[in-house]
Amino acid sequence: MKKILTALFALFALAVPATARETLTIYTYDSFVSDWGPGAKIKEAFEKTCDCTIKWVAPGDGVAVLNRLKLEGKNTKADVVLGLDTNLTAEAASTGLFGKHGVDLSLARTPVAWTDEIFMPFDFAHFAVVYDSQAIKQPPTSLDELVNGDPTQKIVLEDPRSSTPGLGFLLWMKSVYGDKAGEAWKKLRPRILTTAPGWSDAYALFTKGEAPMVLSYTTSPAYHMIAEKTDRYKAASFSEGHYLQIEVAGLIDASPNRALAQKFLQFMMGPGFQDQIPTNNWMLPAGATSAPLPPAFDTLVKPTKTLLFTPEDVAQNRRAWIDEWLNAMAN
Amino acid sequence: MAECDGELNLSPFAISRASALLALGVVLAAVTAGFGPVLAMALYQSPARADPYLFQVVRFTLLQASLSAALSVAFAIPFARGLARRRFAGKDVLVNLLGLPLSLPAIVVVLGIVQIYGRQGWFGGVIEVYGLTGILLAHVFFNLPLAARILLGQLAAIPSESFRLGAQLGFRDRDVWTRIEWPQLARALPGVAILIFLLCTASFTVVLTLGGGPRATTLEVAIYQALRFDFDPPRAASLALIQLAICGSLVLLSYGFSPGAVGMPSLGRFASRYDGTSIAARMADGFAIAMALLLLLPPLLGITLPGLANLSIGSDLLPAAGTSLAIGLASALLAVLIVWPLAQLAARSHWWRRLTPLAMLLGLMVPPAVLATGWFIVLARFSTVSVPAAVLVVGMNALMALPFSYTALAPAVAVAAQRYDRLCSSLGLAGYRRMIVVDLAVLRQPLGLAFLMAAIVSLGDLTAIMLFGSQDFATLPSLIYRQMGTYRMASASGTALILTLFTFVLISLANRWSVADDKA
């Protein structure tokens, strides 16, 4: 018996050096690591810089990632969490699991100055109403025109209760109309063809031609131009400004691989990571790329004004604002 | 010898009772492990507030679910009767088609319906698809075939002696209906209706996408919101309790109406029909079949035709098809293993006959998001090894498939029990020997149907795979979803076509196998 134990112990001891290659576990959203996402190439690029392995864990979308973290608490296996947006960071920070990233804040090339010491941005895009230029010759030029426009020209929206862009549009309405947001929703209501549970459901209805407008991103037309070689789908530029989505990453403070996690966040701001963002994640890079973006990106709408609530504002008011939307839409 | 006799009388029951208890235990444990932790979290915190919106949600949930169930069953009864009475070219293909809708993810069906009846659809403007009409259309598309398939199974189980006797007694079509067909259908109807009702209660994508706005919402959406965006397990738990209370009492109520009678003995040959020869009967059957086809075929074409132009066999397709098949077969096997002993015992015990259907439906009454959260908490706390995602997906799929398999199998098991129990006990056949010699032989067809239905439910699953899946593990539905999530709507329609073909081939093979076996 003793011999067996000794043998087992020896075997175990032998096995340890083989697994000593550090593994960095990164929680992220599903489409980041899908076959068409940037995940695989980023993994390859980072693993060249370290004697380590990246393990992606994708429990769903950004909200699902945060919920997984809440359920696991201190027992989480994550070293890095990548893909929350600024609407979730206040809640994420309040779990107490995240530590300071220690990355130079000035590396962040975001439309708003970056001050968060816990989360570092890796990409961003403004929300926009994307329209079919074959169906609409004169798109709305402001949110107000959208709200008060011809109710036979429909838009497909996403549900703010189940979708990130849906919540983004709710915040957009709130930041433009403030206390009058409920009334604005009531005016917009006849123009809404339907409120889909997620972005992909809404976008599928839009590309089927069911409605000439959909809520998406300023970067959406770049996909159609680059992958489908068509400029049929365009984003409408709104004079009140566009609401911004910034996607961020943070590191788990108690992680045994904290140093490696920090190295990854540093890497995230450079070309090895950022080069993959524009044409794989279809967002704008928040760090340095090795070359200018493809020409299609120059043609995109560049909002003159950026709208963004603080993470704390969103965390405190989200439920009340969703209830306000429900009241306007469901009665 | 006396010992032997005692064993003979005792063992069939003892064995089936032990395995039925085990099966029931597995189901209850799975549901408790899911619901328990969420409920426990609710107890520590303040309960949810009841707001007017919640009442609206409950009202709409009940309205659309009961309308969907009523319409599906109303169309399914004449359709199934027509199918049972008529022989026509392509009938086998048509029956196989009935299995397809269940295997399709909701968003695929929604897009198929929009392709036909949407604003830019082929028959655009015929109906307004965004609103209650669209929701009902989608739900009937899913559930009319399900109801028809189960009811057809019921009608096929009527012994040919009944029809021959009816013909000898000079039964008219109406007598055949009231004396032979209806009593047989009535046994399955409450189960079918409640199954459809529960499926529609849990409907999510259909209701939101075609509903037009938050006015059309089910409790399921509210529960999902509470668990996800708000991460408010107490509210989710109280909403889930409301859902459980409503659905549970409806299930109990509907089984109160179920006569639960057992069929008559027969030689088990396929029934020859002597009725329905009049022109009026032919026209009625033709009309019922045409109506059902009119509801089913256009959306199916709307799903498959756009895919034709976008068929591409990418490197991701084969692994996804393989994963789908493996998960489908594993879930179906698990579901049948659970359903089999329970159906056996329910055939012989009054109490189990009441209890089992309720237990089978539990997995549909507790929302999957709640189950997933609970399982996750339990595993994180008590499990030292990490359970592979595939195991959890198979477990949840099997749980969701139980009522389908049970509905397909239980009536046939009840008939077989009545038919062969005395013969078996006089021959001294019991336990596993009886299972192999008698039950597996006479129950091959319903068993195959139970397996097939569970596999189909699992093939179309997008819920469990989204809740537990990881990136290196994709099924055909999750591949469709990922393609859609990265702007690849055209590729997604190609994958949807492949999923449809794939399921159709599986169904056809399964049916060919069961028919071939009958002839042997």
pLDDT of A19 reads: 53
pLDDT of A6 reads: 52
Residue range B430-436: mean pLDDT, rounded: 73
Residues of A in contact with B228 (CB under 8 A): 63-64, 67, 162
pLDDT of B250 reads: 86
Closest by CA position to B48, among listed B187, B190, B227: B227
Using an 8 Å Cβ cutoff, are A234 and A139 in contact? yes
Q: In chain B, where are the structural domains located?
A: 1-43+312-520, 54-306
**pLDDT (tens digit per residue) in B78-87:** 999 999 888 8
- For A56, which residue in chain B has the nearest alpha carbon? B471
Closest by CA position to A224, among listed A239, A198, A246, A206: A206
Return the higher-pLDDT residue of B432 and B21.
B21
Residue A199 to residue B485, Cβ atoms within 8 A: yes
Instruction: Evaluate if residue A84 carries a pLDDT over 50.
Output: yes
- Which of A202-206, A318-322, B318-322, B440-444 is least confident? B440-444
pLDDT of B48 reads: 56
Instruction: Evaluate if residue A290 carries a pLDDT over 50.
Output: yes
**pLDDT (tens digit per residue) in B376-399:** 888 877 776 777 888 999 999 999
Of B209, B482, B487, the CB nearest to A197: B209
Q: How far is B224 from chain A (nearest CA, A)?
A: 8
Residues of B in contact with A39 (CB under 8 A): 471
Q: How far is B462 from chain A (nearest CA, A)?
A: 12
Q: How far is A224 from chain B (nearest CA, A)?
A: 9
> Which residues contact residue B388 at a Cβ distance below 8 angstroms, ignoring those fewer than 6 apart?
none
Q: How far is A103 from chain B (nearest CA, A)?
A: 28
Using an 8 Å Cβ cutoff, are B424 and B430 in contact? yes
pLDDT of B264 reads: 41
Closest by CA position to B38, among listed B459, B377, B294: B377
Q: How far is A33 from chain B (nearest CA, A)?
A: 6
Q: How far is B460 from chain A (nearest CA, A)?
A: 17
Residue range B350-364: mean pLDDT, rounded: 85
- Parallel, antiparallel or unpaired: strands A80-85 and A22-28: parallel
Residue B481 to residue A200, Cβ atoms within 8 A: yes
Using an 8 Å Cβ cutoff, are B454 and B336 in contact? yes
**pLDDT (tens digit per residue) in B107-139:** 999 999 999 999 888 887 788 899 999 999 999
Which of B59, B209, B323 to mutate to test binding with chain A, by most A CBs within 10 Å of its CB? B209
Residues of B in contact with A326 (CB under 8 A): 53, 214
Residue A227 to residue B466, Cβ atoms within 8 A: no
Q: B415 vs B384, B412, B442, CA distance in Å?
A: 46, 5, 10
pLDDT of B258 reads: 56
> Which residues contact residue B510 at a Cβ distance below 8 angstroms, ignoring those fewer than 6 apart?
B448, B451, B452
Q: How far is B447 from chain A (nearest CA, A)?
A: 35
Return the higher-pLDDT residue of B67 and B260.
B67
Residues of A in contact with B316 (CB under 8 A): 35
What is the DSSP track for B255-272?
HHH-----------PPPP
**pLDDT (tens digit per residue) in B467-480:** 887 667 889 999 99
Rounded percentage of chain A residues whose pLDDT exceeds 70: 94
- For B302, which residue in chain A has the nearest alpha carbon? A208
Separation of alpha carbons A322 and B416, rounded Å: 56
> Which residues contact residue A320 at a Cβ distance below 8 angstroms, ignoring those fewer than 6 apart?
none
Residues of B in contact with A159 (CB under 8 A): 208, 214, 221
Of A31, A71, A167, the CB nearest to B485: A31
Residue B209 to residue A31, Cβ atoms within 8 A: no
- For A315, which residue in chain B has the nearest alpha carbon? B230
Residue B212 to residue A193, Cβ atoms within 8 A: yes
Residue A201 to residue B227, Cβ atoms within 8 A: no
At B14, is the pLDDT very low, low, confident or very high (cuts 50, 70, 90)?
A: low
- For B212, which residue in chain A has the nearest alpha carbon? A194
Residue A67 to residue B228, Cβ atoms within 8 A: yes
- For B484, which residue in chain A has the nearest alpha carbon? A200
**pLDDT (tens digit per residue) in A87-141:** 999 999 999 999 999 999 999 999 999 999 999 999 999 999 999 999 999 999 9
Which of B53, B208, B376, B491 to mutate to test binding with chain A, by most A CBs within 10 Å of its CB? B208
> CATH second-level architecture of B54-306?
Orthogonal Bundle (1.10)
Separation of alpha carbons B23 and B407, rounded Å: 16
Separation of alpha carbons B93 and B88, rounded Å: 11
pLDDT of B269 reads: 42
Residues of A in contact with B210 (CB under 8 A): 194
Residue B486 to residue A37, Cβ atoms within 8 A: yes
pLDDT of B260 reads: 47
What is the DSSP track for B83-123?
HHH---TTHHHHHHHTTTGGGS-HHHHHHHHHHHHSTTSTT
Instruction: Evaluate if residue B327 carries a pLDDT over 90.
Output: yes
Residue A200 to residue B485, Cβ atoms within 8 A: yes
**Average per-residue pLDDT in chain B?**
84
Report the CATH fold assignment for B1-43+312-520.
MetI-like fold (1.10.3720)
Q: How far is A104 from chain B (nearest CA, A)?
A: 31
Residue range B278-297: mean pLDDT, rounded: 91
One fold for B1-43+312-520 and B54-306: yes
**pLDDT (tens digit per residue) in A33-52:** 887 889 999 999 999 998 89
In the 8-state DSSP scheme, what is residue A236?
Answer: P
Tokens of B8: 């003979």
ipTM: 0.86
Residue range A255-269: mean pLDDT, rounded: 96
Instruction: Evaluate if residue B96 carries a pLDDT over 60.
Output: yes
pLDDT of B46 reads: 61
Residue B53 to residue A326, Cβ atoms within 8 A: yes
pLDDT of B380 reads: 78
Q: How many CB atoms lie within 10 A of CB B305?
A: 15
Residue B229 to residue A56, Cβ atoms within 8 A: no
Of B119, B205, B487, the CB nearest to A197: B205
Residue range B217-241: mean pLDDT, rounded: 84
Q: How far is A89 from chain B (nearest CA, A)?
A: 13
Chain mean position to CA B485: 28
Task: Please state the three-class secondary structure of B172-223 as a single string.
Answer: CHHHHHHHHHHHHHHHHHHHHHHHHHHHHHCCCHHHHHHHCCCCCCCHHHHH
Residue B221 to residue A162, Cβ atoms within 8 A: yes
- What is the number of CB-based contacts under 8 A between chain A and chain B? 145
Using an 8 Å Cβ cutoff, are B246 and B233 in contact? no
Residue A189 to residue B208, Cβ atoms within 8 A: no
pLDDT of A3 reads: 53
